Amino acid sequence: MALPWWSMEINGMPAHALLVHGAVVFGPVAGLLAVAYAVPALRERLRGVTLVTAVLAAVFVVLAYLSGDSYLEDNPALSSIPAVDTHEDRAAFALWVTLAFSALAVAATTLRTGRAARVLPLLAAVGGVATVVAVVLTGDANREHAWKNMTQECRQVDILTPAVKELIRIEDGRRIPELVRRAFAVATSGRPGPVLLDIPEDVCHGTYDFT
């Protein structure tokens, strides 16, 4: 029986490693567009791009989830790694939050009359914020391997920085509590907005004493 294409490799890389980039880019962008779409004066200008981006976010998060699940089935030993188990739980949360948000965004951008047309943009904005929060923690390449053609990479810091209030890269695992507190302080101070924590793979796999 032929395997679904999302369980295969693309240019020698597992499809999941590539598809997850679409999920972590289109999800936050769609969420921010939905928040802006809640402003009546901006709706006509943002209607089309919000609709398309929300649909792409849903497509990529589903494909990323399916490809990750397929990859775990092919590599069952990975399930014993605590970080992989945590990643899987967060992926399931992001899947359902993004799907619910995308449904609201599609409804908000396609219905133009009636009470629902006034309420749905606000609900989509709330869903957009939840989507941004759901993907605020992103992994990054191992610093020893970055840009040595050892992994498939993209310049996600450059891509995501314009879409967030602040991007904080964690270079030292011992500073995780401090930088997480800073992220919430920045996100909730002044005009609230999303903050992204970028964590390299080697920092994620480290063991730290926070007592």
Q: What is the pLDDT of residues 44-70, one digit of tens each?
A: 899 999 999 999 999 999 988 888 888
Tell me the C-alpha to C-alpha distance, in Å, between residue 91 and each of 10, 83, 88, 172.
21, 12, 5, 24
Phi-psi region of 195 (alpha: psi -120 to 50; beta: other; left: phi over 0): beta
Q: 63, exposed or middle or buried, with CB in 10 Å at 0-12, 13-18, 19+? A: buried
User: Of residues 138 and 160, which shows the higher confidence score?
Assistant: 160
What is the structure's pLDDT at 96?
87
Indicate the length of the chain as a whole number. Answer: 211
What is the share, in percent, of the chain residues with pLDDT greater than 90?
Answer: 9
Q: Which of 56, 66, 63 is nearest to 106 (CA)?
A: 56
Helix, strand, coil in percent for the chain, rounding step 5: 70, 10, 25
The share of the chain scoring above pLDDT 70, in percent, equals 80
Q: Best-predicted range by mean pLDDT among 105-119, 151-165, 197-211?
A: 105-119
pLDDT of amino acid 27:
86
Q: Which phi and psi (to 5°) does residue 198 adopt?
A: -100, 120
CA dihedral 42, 44, 45, 48 (to 10 degrees): 130
Q: What is the mean pLDDT of residues 104-127?
A: 85
Rounded Cα distance between 27 and 124, Å, is 13
Residue 140's pLDDT band (cuts 50, 70, 90): low
Say what the pLDDT of residue 1 is. Answer: 42
Residues 5-54: tens digit of each pLDDT: 555 666 666 777 778 888 888 888 888 888 888 888 888 899 999 999 99
- How confident is the model at residue 189, as a pLDDT? 76
pLDDT at 8: 64
35 alpha carbon, distance to own chain's centre: 16
Q: Is the pLDDT of residue 123 over 60?
A: yes
Contacts of 51 (CB under 8 A, 6+ apart): 105, 106, 109, 110
Average pLDDT for 188-202: 77
Per-residue pLDDT, 14: 74
Which pLDDT value is given to residue 6? 52
Q: Give the pLDDT confidence of 82-95 residue by residue, as tens digits.
A: 777 777 877 888 88
Mean pLDDT of the 99-122 span:
86
Q: Of residues 164 and 107, which shows the higher confidence score?
A: 107
State the Cα–Cα distance between residues 127 and 133, nearest whole angstrom: 10
Average pLDDT, the chain: 79
Average pLDDT over residues 159-181: 82
Which one-letter DSSP state was computed for residue 208? -
State the pLDDT at residue 50. Answer: 92
